[in-house]
Amino acid sequence: MTDGLFNFDKILNYLPTEEFIVSAYLLVDGKRITKKDYLSELNSMIVKEKERIETSSGLGKNTQKNILNTLDRIKSYVGDSYKYENEKTLLIYAGTSSDLWEVYKLPIILKSKIIIDPKPHTQSLRSLINNYKKYGVLLINREKAQIYQVYLGKIKEYLAAFISEVPARVNFRFESGLREKKILGKIDEKLHQFYKMLNDNIFGFFKENKFDYLILAGRKEIINEFKHYLHNYLKAMVIGTFEEDPSAPEHIILEKANKVISNFEKSSTDQLIDRLIDELEPQKMGVIGLKKTIDALMANNIKTLVYMEDYAARGYACPACGYVTLKIMEKCPYCDNVVIHFNDIIDEIVESALNQGSEIIPVSKNDRFKDCGRIGAISRYKL
């Protein structure tokens, strides 16, 4: 069993077999729902699925039994072993006859639902993966460097480089140019080669699509020294620095990197909200407020959806096609299904936007946005 956010590959590259896979999404966001309520939501979804399987699935007795057992397994996992860690949505993929069992804790609200299919339901997961930025972290001292990737709140170790790997027999003095000498001042030649090698490594890492932004970590004077070697293209991607040694434990590195990342994200989000309010909305390239945001969503005109993380709003949604509205209506105008009242339709909106390929930005704190609508969007085209 894996319990994390990496290893999506197993699910994304899954090849369908005879077996049914249960995909269970459960909204567990502590700002919206209590444990008691999400357990009861899960329970009622399971009861409904069991009834459907037993009465109208047309599946063989054995297959039915396997599916029912898998649903029970999910129920007891969530009730007994699952530990909430501030995620917004819990996503479980469970095989009904194999030992496939994958648990993901997602940082974004998605609609609770259970889907039983010969393959894992991955639409939301795929959109979500595209939505999140990857951060490279380069930790460096004068002996060693270490590269990590932070993605969706998790850290993964990548290559390490050591000054001892710099070839000993190169005639450094002869090789380095005059201009480099000037920058270097008194830097040891071996160190000079080490920094050059690191720049190559990190550039290679970037070309493999391993990060969108870069964080440098180490003692200030070493970072400043190394920055002279960093490719200009990469320099522009540096969003911050922190002090730490390459050999520090992973959880410490993650904690410090997360601080840099959340400061960076906060300031980019604040800038984006100011731009939305001051420029884009007046120029009709953006909307603010629930009703207008829903209109933009229904017109497939959301490039970026922005909403306060704790914002909940009542409304109606069509469970069949995803139509969302604030008005009471009996039937969906698009597919004629019965429209259902929801105490909170924000997760419906987020999910539809994700499925339309919109970028999703949850906002934890922004007083200006809180006062003027708490949800809004940047449009794809002019209204």
Q: Tell me which stretch binds Zn ion (CB under 5 A): 50-58, 266-274, 333-341, 372-380.
A: 333-341
338 binds Zn ion (CB under 5 A): no
* CB nearer to Zn ion: pick between 168 and 328: 328
340 binds Zn ion (CB under 5 A): no
318 binds Zn ion (CB under 5 A): yes
323 binds Zn ion (CB under 5 A): yes
Q: Tell me which stretch binds Zn ion (CB under 5 A): 6-14, 131-139, 276-284, 322-330.
A: 322-330
Q: Which of 335, 338, 341, 357 binds Zn ion (CB under 5 A)?
A: 335
Is 296 within 8 Å of 379 (Cβ atoms)? yes
298 binds Zn ion (CB under 5 A): no
Q: Which of 6, 162, 334, 381 binds Zn ion (CB under 5 A)?
A: 334
For the bound state, the minimum distance from the C-beta of residue 349 to Zn ion, rounded and expressed in Å, comes to: 15
Q: If DSSP codes are grouped into helix, strand and coil, which group holds residue 237? A: coil
Q: Interface residues for Zn ion in 164-203 (CB under 5 A)?
A: none
* CB nearer to Zn ion: pick between 130 and 337: 337
Q: Which of 59, 238, 285, 321 binds Zn ion (CB under 5 A)?
A: 321
For the bound state, the minimum distance from the C-beta of residue 318 to Zn ion, rounded and expressed in Å, comes to: 3
Distance separating alpha carbons of residues 379 and 383, to the nearest angstrom: 8
CA distances from 52 to 116, 214, 233, 275, 347 (A): 11, 49, 56, 49, 25
Distance separating alpha carbons of residues 76 and 95, to the nearest angstrom: 15
Tell me phi and psi for residue 91, to 5 degrees: -125, 125
For the bound state, the minimum distance from the C-beta of residue 308 to Zn ion, rounded and expressed in Å, comes to: 27
332 binds Zn ion (CB under 5 A): yes
Give the list of residues 6+ apart from residue 147 with CB closer than 8 angstroms, or none.
136, 137, 138, 139, 158, 159, 160, 201, 202, 205
For the bound state, the minimum distance from the C-beta of residue 270 to Zn ion, rounded and expressed in Å, comes to: 36
* CB nearer to Zn ion: pick between 218 and 322: 322
Q: Tell me which stretch binds Zn ion (CB under 5 A): 9-17, 98-106, 241-249, 319-327.
A: 319-327
CA dihedral 289, 291, 296, 297 (to 10 degrees): 110
For the bound state, the minimum distance from the C-beta of residue 332 to Zn ion, rounded and expressed in Å, comes to: 3
Tell me the three-class secondary structure of 145-186, residue by residue.
Answer: EEEEEEECCEEEEEEEEEHHHCCCCCCHHHHCCHHHHHHHCC
Distance separating alpha carbons of residues 121 and 1, to the nearest angstrom: 18
320 binds Zn ion (CB under 5 A): yes
Concatenating the DSSP letter of every residue in 255-267 gives HHHHHHHHHHHHH
- Token pair, residue 109, equals 């609200």
Q: Tell me which stretch binds Zn ion (CB under 5 A): 83-91, 113-121, 257-265, 323-331.
A: 323-331
For the bound state, the minimum distance from the C-beta of residue 331 to Zn ion, rounded and expressed in Å, comes to: 8
- Contact residues for Zn ion, defined by CB under 5 A: 318, 320-321, 323, 332, 334-335, 337
